[in-house]
Structure 1
C-alpha cells in the first residue's frame, strides 16, 4: 500500500536507531527513590555514547519529570540540541488500574509531557498498554493523536502493549477507520531468546496494516533472562513467569556463564540481532533497553557494540565512540554466527517454555502447559507488570 506521511514523520522514522534508552528505571515502580539517581550524568553519558532516542511514559512516575529536567540541564543543553535526539512517550495509562483514552485526557497528557520536557514537539506518542481498554477507546485515542500530529505537536503516532493479536487488530481497525496507518507500534517481551512470537506472527501483519516501524522492548523478558532470576522491587513478585520457567532461565544463566558469557548480555545481543534481521527498507525494527544507572548504560552499550558495526570506522576512535547508534549501523553477521551456539544452547535448556506467552492459551507438545503445571489457571493481561520493560 502507498502511504503518504508528513516530512516530519518520515524524518523521525528514518532516524529511529537500533537501540533506544528506556526510562522506566526513573520510576517509583522500579526505584524507591528515583529522584536520587544521577539522571543528568546518565543521560549525558547516553548521548555521549551515541544513544539518540529516549522512551518513557507519564505512568512511569516521575520519569518524565526527571528526564525532562535532565535534558534541560545546562550540562546537556550546552552540548546537545533538542533536534539531536528523539523523545518518545505515551498517554492513556494513569495508574495501575486507571486508564483514560478520552480525547480530552489524551490532549491533556500530551500537553503535560511537552511541558515536562520543555519542548514544543514530541517525536512519538504511543497509546499505552492498549490491551486494557476496548478497541473503540483505542480508535478514539489514536484519532486524537492523529489530530495532534496534523497540528505539528507530535511527529509520529503509535500504540503499545503486550498482546500481539490486539496490536494487529487495532492497527487494522485504525487503518480502516481513518484511511491512514499507525506510524509505530511498541511490543514488549516478544522478541527475546525465550519468546520470538513477534517475529513469527506479528511483524509481517503489522507491516501489512501500514505500520512503518516496530519498537521491541523488554529484551530480557522483563528481567527473566538474567542470572539470579527476576528482581523483586516495590511491586513485589509480580512477574507472570511460573516457577518452572524461572528455574529453566536460571539453569540457562548458569550454563552461559560456564561458557564464559553472561545471559543478560547474550539475551540483549539476540534481541538486537533479531530486530536487525527483520528490518528492511521502509520497515524498521528497533530495540528498547531499560537503563537506570551508569553501569546499566555502559554494559548495554558495550553489549550492543558486540553485535552491531559501522561499515567504516574512523581510525583512532574507540569501539564505543565509533558506534553512534543510528540507522547507518549494520548487523555484524560474524558475531551473530559466533553467538549462535550459545543461542541454541539456551533455547534447548528452555525447551517447552520457548514462546511461552504470558497471556495466551496453554500450548505444549509434552504435557507442560504454557502457564506451567496448572494451565487452566492462565495469566491474564492484568497480571502482567505494566512498567517493567527491562
Structure 2
C-alpha cells in the first residue's frame, strides 16, 4: 500500500494510476460531521498507527473541519516528519465547498483555498486537489476552477487535478468538458457510496466511461455508505444527523447488520471487503480504482486494517484473496436480499430545493 514520490516529479509526473495506492485514509473521520470532538491527540494516534501499518495516502477537505489543520499539525511534528519524509505519502484535498450550504468556486477563492491548504497542511505541494461536490454549482463554475488548479499544476504546487461528486452523470459531463476546453483529461474523479453492498452504480455506469475519457484513477469514497452499513446506525457528530438515507433504508441496513452479526461477522467489515474486492477487480495496470475509508479512531483503524488484510493480498500476482471472496459471497448476497428494493437506491444530490445558479437553498414552488 506504500507509494513513494519524488519532488522532481512535480514537473514531469508519472501517471497517477502508477502511484495511487489501493486504500486511502479518509480525513472526514477527523471532522465535526462524523466525530463529536476531533482533536490532535486522536489524529496523531490514528496517523502514526496507519503509517506504521503501511497506509500512505490521506484524503481531506476544508469542508471536513478541522481535518486539514489537525492532519497538518500531526504530519509536521518532528518525530513523524523525520520518519516519514514528504515524498513517501500522498495528500489529497479539495476546493469549493465550505459548509453544508456554502460554496465558493470563484477563481479568487480557489487560489486562496489552495494556498490556505498548503499552509494548514504544512507542505509545499499537494498531490491531488479535487473540485468538491460539483453538483452544487454550475458546470461553468467548475470548469473555471479547474483552470485555476491547472495554474497551480504549472507552478508545481499541485500535482494532479480532479473532481468529486455523488452524481456520476455530472462527473462524466464535466470530464468531457475539461477535455474539450483544456485539451487534457482530469487525472482522477471521486465518487461516494456507489461501489458498495447497497449501490454498485459506479461500477456499472461509471468506470468504463471514465476510462474512455482518459481518466486514470477513480476514488470510491464511503464504502460503508457514510456509515450506513454497520451495526450501530449512521454516525452522528457534533453537527447532528446529516445522513441522507431514508428511515426505511436505515431500518433495512440494521436488519442486515443483525443478520450478519448472527453469523459471527461484522457488517462494516463485510461491506469494506466487498468494496475493496470490486475496486481491485476493476483495476488494471493503467487504470486504478482506490477505496477511501474514513477512520476516526485507532479502534476503527484496527478493524479496517483487519478487514483489508483479509481480502487484499500483499502480492504482485492476483491481489485478491479468492478464498475470502468465496466465503463472503453468500453473506454479500444475503445482505443485498435483505436490502431488497433499497438496493441501488440513489440519494438526491443536490437536494431538490438547491439552486445551482444562486448556490443556495430556495423555497420550492407548490
Partner Cα distance (1:67, 1:25) in 2: 11
Could you tell me how far 1:12 is from its partner in structure 2? Answer: 4.1
What's the secondary structure of 1:90's corresponding residue?
A: strand
What's the secondary structure of 1:275's corresponding residue?
A: helix
1:309-324 maps to which residues of 2 (within 5 A)? 309-311=313-315
Equivalence for 1:210: 214
Partner Cα distance (2:328, 2:193) in 1: 20
- Residue 174 (structure 2) pairs with residue 170 (structure 1): yes
Match of 2:344 among 335, 355, 358: 355
Partner Cα distance (2:283, 2:163) in 1: 19
Could you tell me how far 1:259 is from its partner in structure 2? Answer: 1.2
Equivalence for 2:152: 148
Could you tell me how far 1:329 is from its partner in structure 2? Answer: 7.8
Equivalence for 1:129: 133
Equivalence for 1:114: 118
Query: Unaligned regions of 5+ residues in structure 1, if any?
Result: 313-327, 361-377, 383-390
Q: What are the Cα deviations for residues 272-320 of structure 1, in whole angstroms up to 9, with x where unaligned? A: 01111111121100000001111111111111000001227xxxxxxxx
With over 3 angstroms needed to count, the CA separation of the structure-2 counterparts of 1:179 and 1:277, relative to structure 1, is same
With over 3 angstroms needed to count, the CA separation of the structure-2 counterparts of 1:241 and 1:60, relative to structure 1, is same
Equivalence for 2:52: 48
Could you tell me how far 1:96 is from its partner in structure 2? Answer: 1.8
Contact kept, 8 Å, 2:195 with 2:203, in 1: the verdict is yes
Could you tell me how far 1:228 is from its partner in structure 2? Answer: 2.4
Could you tell me how far 1:37 is from its partner in structure 2? Answer: 3.9
Q: What are the Cα deviations for residues 160-201 of structure 1, in whole angstroms up to 9, with x where unaligned? A: 011111111111111111110000000001110000000010
Deviation >4 Å, runs of 4+: 5-8
Could you tell me how far 1:30 is from its partner in structure 2? Answer: 2.5
Equivalence for 2:360: none
Could you tell me how far 1:36 is from its partner in structure 2? Answer: 5.4
Match of 1:139 among 131, 143, 155: 143
Equivalence for 2:65: 61
Query: Unaligned regions of 5+ residues in structure 2, if any?
Result: 1-8, 355-366
With over 3 angstroms needed to count, the CA separation of the structure-2 counterparts of 1:308 and 1:354, relative to structure 1, is same
Q: TM-score, normalised by structure 1?
A: 0.85
Equivalence for 1:16: 20
What's the secondary structure of 2:58's corresponding residue?
A: strand
Q: Give RMSD over aligned pairs.
A: 1.9
Equivalence for 1:260: 264
- Residue 327 (structure 2) pairs with residue 338 (structure 1): yes
| Range that drifts further, 51-60 or 331-340 | 331-340
